Structure formats: C-alpha cells, structure tokens
Structure 1
Amino acid sequence: MIIDSVVAAAEPLLAGRQVTDAVLGLSLTAMELDGEDIGVSYVLRQNLPAGCSIFGFAQEIIGKPAFEVASLVVKGQDDAQRAVGMAVITAATRGLNLPDEKKTPNPFGLNVRPGDTVGMIGYIPPVAKEIATIADRVIIFDRGLSSHGGEGAAQAYPMELQSELLPECDLMLITGTTLINNTLDQLLDWCKKAREIVLVGASTPMIEEAFQSTGVTALAGSWWDATYKQEMFKRLSLSCGISHLREMMIKKLVPVSA
C-alpha cells in the first residue's frame, strides 16, 4: 500500500528525532519534533471508539522516538492513533527542500478546461465553487458529510457511486486523510482516466518518492511557522479547524514525477 511507502520514505527523515510536544484536538492533531518542527493532521472522528479513557496512548508519546510514533499511521488501532502518526510524518517534511505553492489561475495549479469532469474526495467549498465556474461538472464525495450530514451535504454524492463516477473524472483532488483510512489505493485505481491527481490538505505527507508511479501528480500540503507554536497549540486544544490557523500556514505544492 502507498502508506507503507510513505512510512519507509519518512524513516530517514525521522532518524534520531524525538517527539517533544503534542496536542490532540477534536478536529486536528499536531506533533512537534525536537522543539522546532511542527506537523498537523486531520482527525477522522466518525469511527472513533467510544469510552472515556481509550485515548491514553497519547499520554506516552512525548519523549518517544519520532519514527516509533510515526509508525502509528500504519500500526495504530484507530483513526486518532493514525492521525498522530501522520502528523509526525508531515512534521518530518521540514527536512526536505519543498517548493512553495505559487499563485495560479486555478487551485493547486490544476489545468481545468471547459468540459472537464472534476472529482473531489473531501469537500473544500471555496475550491469546489471556483472549479465549477470552468469545469462542466464537479463530483464530490465526502464520507463525513454522507454519514453525518452538515454544510455541503447536499453537494455530496452517495459514497456507493464512487466506483461508477470516479472513472469519468478528468481531474481529481483527493484529501490526504485517505492515507489515514486506507482508501487511497482503491480510489487511485478508479481514477486511471484522470490526467492530474492532486493529494491535498494538512494531512498530505509531501514526500515525492513515495508517490512516484501511483498516478498522483502533485502533493499540496503545508508547513507551519513554529514561531506561532504556543498560540497554535492553544487553538488546537480548543478544537479549532484549518481556517483558524491560516496565518501560521506555509503552503507547499510538490510536483510528483511519473
């Protein structure tokens, strides 16, 4: 699976490093490595187990070797543990020379053409609205909206139509959380027609080598300005979302070679 390639590619970046701080919010989790590099991941709440003290694992991660904690993205027992692992990996990408996302006419540098069908896995309202002004059709799938409703639920297609509709898409935007819930590999298998596939969001591990020959053409993720660390962790502990962290975000867009 692709997530195994991600973990293997991240291992050299995490060698000798340590988790020095952490915060697990209701929407996002963040990990700090060696008192300097911060990584963030979305928390998929829909399938978390019930109970009061079931997330006690987090009491033990500070001070642990970074790669051991990162391995939770594969070995974790639930989506909270897997999010912690992914946040460590996104923090590790600060050790890479990654290009900033440049201002382009379309989101994430997509070459959207009239007549295109664009698929989105994970609803991003402003992006969907902008793309819809050019593309012929925008097909949105969002597991959380489909199962629990919420703003944008009316725009989301039933999840059971993925295998039917995704093969029609010319372009794809796929949330990085599909690595956390182990759905990315199947999604890519349905998207073989797509000429561009961009993995997007804070949960995207921007390690190009892990995605070569997968069909993914770009990785759109974020670094975080550690000078905001105290305020950032406070907001995360109060259940903030990405929109509350915009000024701390350093957007990146990494092309993936075929």
Structure 2
Amino acid sequence: MFVHQLIHQKAKERADGLEVVDVRIGLGYTLVELSNGSAGLSYSFTKETSPKDCTVMKEAGDLVGKPAGYILDKILSYNLTDSSLALACANAIINKDIKQNDIDIIDLVRGEDKVVMVGYFSPLIEPLKNKAGKFIICERNPRGDALPDFAEYFELFDCDIAILTATSIINKTIDSLLDMIKKARIIAVMGPSTPMDRSVFKNRITHACGSIVKNIELAKRIVSEGGGTKRLKPAIEKRCVY
C-alpha cells in the first residue's frame, strides 16, 4: 500500500461515529474540526488549484455534518483540495493525544553529515547550514540557494539525513521520495500536515514531526484569514514521534 492509502486505513479505523463540525479552506492551510473536540491541519495547494469556474470545492456549504469517513475517502483523490481536506481530517484523528517531547532534529546532526531538505523550512535553514557538513534544499519553486525538485533523486540518494515536507503526502510524491533514499540515518517527515504515526509511512521514516491544534478557535480564525505557519504558532504545538 502507498502512504496515503495507509493514512486512509489508519484514520478510518478510528473514525466511527465522528462527524465534521467545521471546515476552513484557507490560502495557507486547511483545517477540519471533528465532533470529538479535535482539529487537524493540512497545507492548501492554492497555487496548483486551477478551477474551471469560480468554485474550488464543489461541496462547499455541505461538508459540516458529514461523517469523518466520507471526508477521509477524499485522500484517494488526485484533486489537491480534496486530498488536503482529507489529510486535515486524518490528522484530527491520528494526532489526537500525541504527547509532548523535547526532540530536536538539529541536535541529531553531526558535523560530517549531508543533510537534504525537501521543502522549505525557514527556521531550520541557518542552524542546519551551520552544523551540517553539507546542506542542500530541493524545492518545487526554488528560492535562494535551493535546487529545483528534480535534483531530489540525485541528492537524496547518498544523504545522511533527509527532511521531507509532509505536503508530499497531499500530492502523493512521498513514496517516490522515500524510494530515493538509500543510506540515510535519519528520515524525518515534517510540518503541520504530518500524521504523527510512523506506521503509515511503513516504518521507513525515523521521525514524524507535526503539530497538534491547541486553540481550535484561534486556529480557525487564522486559517480563514489566510495565515500560514508563522501566524499559526500561537494556536498549535509541535510534536515529534520517533
């Protein structure tokens, strides 16, 4: 099974009786709140969404009250808005009650390590540049010193540490990225879109580092107003499962 299929399976096992209480599809993130008092986040692929008319989500206005399982089924879609919505729903289920720990990926980096980051995690860039022997960023829309995403195949092949954006679950590239990694000591999937359960990655990763929504009302407001990761900080708490 592929990663998104395993996420679907794992979340549906715990979705019985759960209903959607609220949905926010913002410019930066998508949020789903469930009837068990939890909420989950997922990245919104707004740049890649090209609706044929002014409607991005065909079911807008009809999502609240739907069974969680109905929303989870959308992770099997190739529509990025549907997939993001489903992952947010899955995260509301999978990430509920994840306990806090003090793990920091930076602390695991050795001076001789080659670190490859797929995606752009701004707060980690300078610390990794300063600590790693070699640090490379691969990004679909390169900025600064980042390489284009087609460099991933060559750079992940021999890296010691791989840091992968969880948005790769939404566009279903995560399995390909994991296949490219041959010798890494540490493989971390990171970002608020991360389902923090290593088994859904077929235990091919060492760390699943995501977030739980602590202040749901604040998070909903920030998402609705177009906020991104930086603005969401007061409403979420980072967690890491390893």
Q: TM-score, normalised by structure 1?
A: 0.87
Q: Which amino acid aligns with 2:183?
A: K
CA contact (8 A) 1:110 1:196 kept: no
Q: Distance in 1 between matches of 2:152 and 2:222?
A: 35
CA contact (8 A) 2:3 2:202 kept: no
What is residue 187 of structure 1 aligned with on the other side?
A: 177
- Per-residue CA deviation, residues 67-88 of structure 1 (Å, 9 max, x unaligned), is 110121112x421111100000
Count of matched residue pairs:
240
Q: Distance in 1 between matches of 2:111 and 2:61?
A: 51
Out of 197, 200, 219, the position equivalent to 1:232 is 219
**CA deviation after TM superposition for structure 1 residue 58, in Å:** 3.0
What is residue 64 of structure 2 aligned with on the other side?
A: 62
Q: Distance in 1 between matches of 2:4 and 2:172?
A: 8
CA contact (8 A) 2:99 2:239 kept: yes
- Per-residue CA deviation, residues 179-230 of structure 1 (Å, 9 max, x unaligned), is 11111111111112111101101110112322244x21110011111xx333
CA contact (8 A) 2:32 2:92 kept: yes
Q: Distance in 2 between matches of 1:31 and 1:92?
A: 10
Q: Distance in 2 between matches of 1:229 and 1:98?
A: 16
CA contact (8 A) 2:188 2:209 kept: yes
Q: Distance in 2 between matches of 1:206 and 1:231?
A: 22
Give me the CA root mean square deviation: 1.6
CA contact (8 A) 2:23 2:31 kept: yes
What is residue 8 of structure 1 aligned with on the other side?
A: 9
What is residue 205 of structure 2 aligned with on the other side?
A: 216
Q: Which amino acid aligns with 1:216?
A: I
What is residue 80 of structure 2 aligned with on the other side?
A: 79
Return structure 1 stretches of 4+ with deviation > 4 angstroms. none
CA contact (8 A) 2:19 2:67 kept: yes
Q: Distance in 1 between matches of 2:17 and 2:108?
A: 41
Q: Which amino acid aligns with 2:120?
A: Y
CA contact (8 A) 2:106 2:127 kept: no
Q: Distance in 2 between matches of 1:178 and 1:160?
A: 14
Q: TM-score, normalised by structure 2?
A: 0.93
Unpaired stretches in structure 1, ≥5 consecutive residues = 147-152
- Per-residue CA deviation, residues 228-254 of structure 1 (Å, 9 max, x unaligned), is 333321221110011112122122111
What is the DSSP-based 3-state SS (H/G/I as helix, E as strand, rest coil) of the residue aligned with 2:219? helix
**CA deviation after TM superposition for structure 1 residue 35, in Å:** 6.0
Q: Which amino acid aligns with 1:117?
A: K
Unpaired stretches in structure 2, ≥5 consecutive residues = none
Q: How does 1:39-188 map to 2 (within 5 A)?
A: 39-50=40-51, 51-75=53-77, 77-95=78-96, 97-102=97-102, 104=103, 107-108=104-105, 111-143=108-140, 145-146=141-142, 153-188=143-178
The structure in which a higher percent of residues are helix is 1
